[in-house]
Amino acid sequence: MKKSIYLIPFIFIIFTCSKSDPVTNTTSQTFLEKYAGTVWTTSDDDVTTYIRFVNNMNHPIEYWIDANECFYYLLEEFFENDAITQNLNDTIEFTYTENDGDIVYVDIITVTVSGNTMVAAYEYYEDDTLYESGSIIFIKSSEKVDDFILCDD
């Protein structure tokens, strides 16, 4: 569940060009290839979050969470039972699994992009029973997140 907190305030983008062919065939690109480097934003309870996708299967998302005078920065990190379960042209799916010995917790987050809008739909399960679900809408942003002032924490 705590892993979904990092993904939910979030989520990702890429722009690539072929040097040998002026027409890029985007249908064969994965989500991470296509959207790497793109920035998305969402606001919830007066907290603005920016995410940027990275073409890296172990660290696919960066987050910047607005703390008014600075931004908290997080780099998504997969653990042993976490995985990208789909990496298609305009859809990516993350599955996070945690087992505390008694209960198996599973977060499934499916991100879909259409134009300048990204929807992150999430499902949270405890022992195969759906506990919570919903979605968060992100809008493509031109913010230069690398220029944000980071918090000291």
If you classify domain 2-147 with CATH, what class do you get?
A: mainly beta
Under 8 Å between Cβ of 42 and 48: yes
Name the pLDDT band for 27 (thresholds 50, 70, 90). low
Name the pLDDT band for 11 (thresholds 50, 70, 90). very low
Q: Where are the domains of the chain?
A: 2-147
Cα–chain-centroid distance for residue 46? 20
H or E element that contains 3: helix 2-7
Supply the pTM of this predicted model.
0.78
